[in-house]
Chains A and B, each alone.
Chain A
Amino acid sequence: MRLAATLRFATISAGQNFWRNLAISLAAVFTMGLILLMVGGTLLGTHMLNEALTVEQDKASSIKVFLQNGVSEAAVEHLASRLAADPRVRTVHFETKEEAAQEAQDRGFGDAIEAVGHNPYPASLNLDIKQLADLPAINDMVKQQTIVEHGGNGVQATNYDPNVIPKLQRLILFLQLSGAVLALVLGAISLVIIMTTIRTAVSVRRREIEIMKLVGATDWFVRLPFIIEGMLAGVLAAGAASGLIALVYHPVVNVAKGWVGFFPFSYDGAYLGLTVAVLVAAGAALGAFGSYLGVRRFLTV
């Protein structure tokens, strides 16, 4: 009964205060909204790049081991099963000469077959490697196998390109690091700005707090309306930021696709939902925490 009445009073007075000091309330909502917008943008942007890089990484972590012409099926099967047993290897797929030719044709290289007069494409074992970092070792190991193309004279043993992988790994590391740094900097800035804004909002109502303390209200009773008001501002800010993000997410993905066509950017509705949930929770938490800190200095009366 008493708790319900306290919550009711705190909620009503939070709403009243919000409305009576609308300019300052809106300033708080706007500031928090802007920061949450940046946080949400960073979250989605990093996720988009990560997803795209994962696709790239999956592509990069596969290797074609070219086989010599005329090796027996048993020898191929023996090597394939040995590779499949290797803990570093995820899958092994045998691609025949015909399949390789078909694939080349599909990619528009059919002319080569006609020019040479026979099928020049070798059969291969296509491996999918679990860790990108194991690729060089796998590459060295398969080259030792007798049935594998020896390389030299313009013929490759595998399609492994030692230059691509480190570049990709560096790019991923760079993106992850800069995402973390950006999130950290945004977090620190947002806390300072939110505390200052809420402190201004609270200081406008110094008199109210003073009266509450003088007539004998408890500290928690003084705090509660401000905390609810902070949460209200935070949730409103998160709502506005989420709405804006949801609105521009799809167009931004399309624009990004247009700019860097080779990079597999994609729209992820589930992650957008998660981002909105994170923003609303962060808005409420930031609002509540900022108000708690903002009121604290006025409670020493």
Chain B
Amino acid sequence: MATLALPRPAPPADTALRPIISFHGVGMTYPNGTVALRDVNLAIHQKDFCFLVGASGAGKSTVVRLLIREELPTHGRIFVNGMELSRLPHRRLPRLRRGIGIVFQDFKLLPKATVAQNVAFALQVTHPGQRHLRERVEEALWIVGLEDKLQKFPDELSGGEQQRVAIARALVHRPRIFLADEPTGNLDPDTSWGIVQLLLQINHRGATVVMATHNREVVDLVRRRVIAIESGRVVRDEREGQYLKDGEATI
């Protein structure tokens, strides 16, 4: 793995302020009876960078889905950007989601649109008639290092580059919160490292970053906050943690 210089860590989060994301006794049971989360309590502050780790099915993706209110918790309360999600009327969902940038393992790009069109799409559908559309798109693509690939189509790009496009699309709203659900799941180690560096840079620019991941090497190398979930419970929450607890056996 390339040893690239890490960006300077963001200044410590101001814990005296109200957290930007908080879970209070959150439980989540899916309609088929699967219990995804049990009594989860969490506080994530502005400019935090944290990893959500745990085995498949532990509940990481449920946390992400709850944060963008794709699902509602069965118990407890969730606050994001000052909004209580259970009480948020459906018509206010766009406001919540415009404050959150999100990327997934499968990139979710439009295959028949160019890189620039993919990024512009996020602004066009939320702020039609945006005056500085072109500048905003170019700025986002410059941040992810794809300023020379504006006219390429997704299938002309590598996996890492496609994920960068997705990140640029998520950035174009200048969100305060950035969620990444297994963003390196489909990428080789070097490319993964590049993506994580990008997320650290985004965090350094002031965004709160939450990254759900399986990527042990990355978590251990970066040494940021680690929230470990097992069978729907938060079993560990460490300020500068590792993928596994000290002394925990690896498979």
Task: Give the interface of A toward B (CB within 8 A).
Answer: 1-2, 4-6, 8-9, 20, 207-208, 210-219, 221-222, 301
Contact = CB atoms under 8 A, between A and B. Distances in A.
3 pairs of A and B residues whose beta carbons are closest in the complex? A5-B129, A216-B97, A216-B98
Contacts of A6: 128-129
A2 B97 contact: no
Contact of A211 (B68, B94, B95, B110): B110
B94 A218 contact: yes
Contact residue range for chain B?
Answer: 20 to 34
B129 to A, nearest CB: 3
Given A211-B110, A215-B97, A216-B94, A4 B126 contact: no
Contacts of B68: 214
Interface in B68-95: 68, 70, 90-91, 93-95
14 contacts: A5-B128, A8-B129, A9-B125, A20-B112, A210-B108, A211-B122, A214-B68, A215-B121, A215-B126, A216-B94, A216-B98, A216-B126, A218-B94, A219-B91
Contacts of A207: 108, 110
A8 B128 contact: yes
A9 B126 contact: no
User: Which one of A6, A20, A215, A222 has the highest number of Cβ atoms from chain B below 10 Å of its Cβ?
Assistant: A215
Contact of A215 (B70, B91, B112, B173): B173
B112 A4 contact: no
A301 B110 contact: no
Interface in B84-124: 90-91, 93-98, 102, 108, 110, 112, 121-122, 124
A126 B126 CA distance: 76
B129 A4 contact: yes
Given A20-B112, A215-B173, 9 more contacts: A5-B128, A9-B128, A208-B110, A210-B108, A211-B122, A212-B125, A216-B126, A218-B91, A301-B70
Nearest to B172: A215
Interface string B117-148: 00001101110110000000000000000000
B169 interface: yes
Contacts of A8: 128-129
Contacts of B125: 9, 212, 215, 217, 221-222
A5 B127 CA distance: 9
Nearest to A12: B124
Contacts of B95: 216
A25 B112 CA distance: 16
A218 B170 CA distance: 17
Nearest to B121: A211
Nearest to A215: B122
Nearest to B106: A207
A212 B95 CA distance: 13
A219 B97 CA distance: 13
Interface in B43-71: 68, 70
Given A207-B110, A214-B102, A2 B94 contact: no
A273 B102 CA distance: 53
Contacts of B129: 1-2, 4-6, 8
A4 B129 CA distance: 8
Nearest to B68: A214
Nearest to A4: B129
Nearest to A13: B124
B110 A215 contact: no
Contacts of B124: 9
B161 to A, nearest CB: 18
Contacts of B97: 213-216
Contact of B98 (A5, A215, A222): A215
A214 B118 CA distance: 13
Contacts of A4: 129
Contacts of B90: 219
A296 to B, nearest CB: 13
A218 B121 CA distance: 14
Nearest to A301: B70
B121 to A, nearest CB: 7
User: Which one of B96, B110, B122, B128 has the highest number of Cβ atoms from chain A below 10 Å of its Cβ?
Assistant: B128
Contacts of B169: 215
A223 B21 CA distance: 31
A6 B176 CA distance: 26
Nearest to B170: A215
A19 to B, nearest CB: 10
Contacts of A213: 93, 97
A208 B121 CA distance: 10
Contacts of A216: 93-98, 126, 173
Contacts of B108: 207, 210-211, 214
B2 to A, nearest CB: 31
Contacts of B122: 211, 215
A21 to B, nearest CB: 9
B98 A2 contact: no
B176 to A, nearest CB: 13
B228 to A, nearest CB: 26
